[in-house]
Amino acid sequence: MGKGLKPDLYIKSVFSLDINWLKERGIKGVLLDIDNTLITHKQKIPDEKVIGLINQFKENGIKVAIVSNARKKRVSVFNEKLGLYARYRAFKPSNRGFLRAMADLNLVPEETAVIGDQLFTDVRGGNRLGLTTILVEPLDENEPINVRVKRILEKLFLKSEPVE
């Protein structure tokens, strides 16, 4: 059903995302992953690049929500200065966090994009709901072993099914 694990866009980094790509597709809101998408596991608070990116979304009339599988503490510390709509422990690829964020931000699937670094949570969950999915390369190369194993599987998958 649907697009499975295939992202609509695969880019090096969220910071190189072309906002026009979103606007051309009628995207009015983005659901952002935190870990390894916006900051590394070692970072706790948003840096200049993150703040710049969030501002860019806002200036372009794109609503921003955090949908993270991380714990409440990590998400609230990250979001303290940003003050974004945020959902912690979203259990992605579960639908719940995405659906709650979309309902609260008044977004429908056709105008919503998910941005994250994991095929099996961010992309899979987003695709199942018919959202636009954007996969980015993880910021941190020194990841825990379980995440590294997933990366290997992701690489094999991307090789077998070229994007675009």
Cβ 81 to Mg ion shortest distance, Å: 20
Judged by beta carbon, residue 91 or residue 108, the one nearer Mg ion is 91
Cβ 35 to Mg ion shortest distance, Å: 4
Task: Work out whether 143 is an interface residue with Mg ion (CB under 5 A).
Answer: no
Cβ 61 to Mg ion shortest distance, Å: 26
Residue 60 to residue 76: CA distance in whole angstroms: 25
CB 128 within 8 A of CB 2: yes
Cβ 14 to Mg ion shortest distance, Å: 11
* 22: number of Cβ within 10 Å: 22
Residue nearest to Mg ion (CB): 35
User: Looking at 8-16, 72-80, 90-98, 117-125, which segment touches Mg ion (CB under 5 A)?
Assistant: 117-125
Task: Work out whether 154 is an interface residue with Mg ion (CB under 5 A).
Answer: no
Question: What are the beta bridge partners of residue 85?
Answer: 65
For Mg ion, the binding residue among 8, 111, 117, 154 (CB under 5 A) is 117
Name which of residues 5 to 64 contact Mg ion (CB under 5 A).
Answer: 33, 35-36
Q: b/e for 98-124, b at 16 or more Cβ within 10 A?
A: beebbeebebeeebbbbbbbbbebbbb
Residue 4 to residue 23: CA distance in whole angstroms: 24
Cβ 37 to Mg ion shortest distance, Å: 5
- Using alpha carbons, select from 140, 109, 153, 157 the residue that is nearest to residue 13: 140
Residues of this chain that interact with Mg ion (CB under 5 A) are 33, 35-36, 117
